[in-house]
Amino acid sequence: MSFKINYQTEKIIATFKDNLENLELTKAFFEMIETVSIININYLIFDLTDITSYTIPENYIEKLKLNTQFSTSWNSNIAVIFIATNSEIRQMVTGFINHNEDLKWEYHLFDDMENVKKNSLKFKPTII
């Protein structure tokens, strides 16, 4: 696996590097929600800034929706933040954000952590 998860108060940050394999986002998501109670989590952050390559999986929007729908019943107030510069990842995340009408979580896409912090006042509670 090419990811590391950092558990903090009210937020979880998964940092990925090198090649992002097909199911690694899903594996990281499940590890996050199986390790801590998401009832007290406000943010799930996927830092994908160090990804060198990624291929968008088939039916990724449906798979992501299926993986997150159950978790929203435990905590519907989570903001999911993706940080990415890779064009394939940005395309995937943008597609998901544009088709999340039936999900309760908020989804955001940024190009670096500095922009997350600059926009943190939009989040409740703030991420900083």
Classify residue 94: in a domain, yes or no: yes
Domain count, the chain: 1
CATH number at residue 25: 3.30.750.24
Beta bridge partners of 20: 54
- What is the pTM assigned to this prediction? 0.85
Q: Are 54 and 18 in contact (CB under 8 A)?
A: no
Residue 89: domain span? 3-122
In a domain, 46, yes or no: yes
Instruction: Tell me if 105 sits within 8 A of 72, measured CB to CB.
Output: yes
**Residue 49 in contact with residue 76, Cβ under 8 Å?**
no
The pLDDT, as a whole number, for residue 126 is 56
Q: Are 51 and 18 in contact (CB under 8 A)?
A: yes
The pLDDT assigned to 46 comes to 94
Whether residue 83 lies inside any domain: the answer is yes
pLDDT tens-digit readout, 19-74: 888 778 888 988 998 898 888 898 999 999 999 888 777 766 666 666 666 666 67
Residue 29 lies in a domain: yes
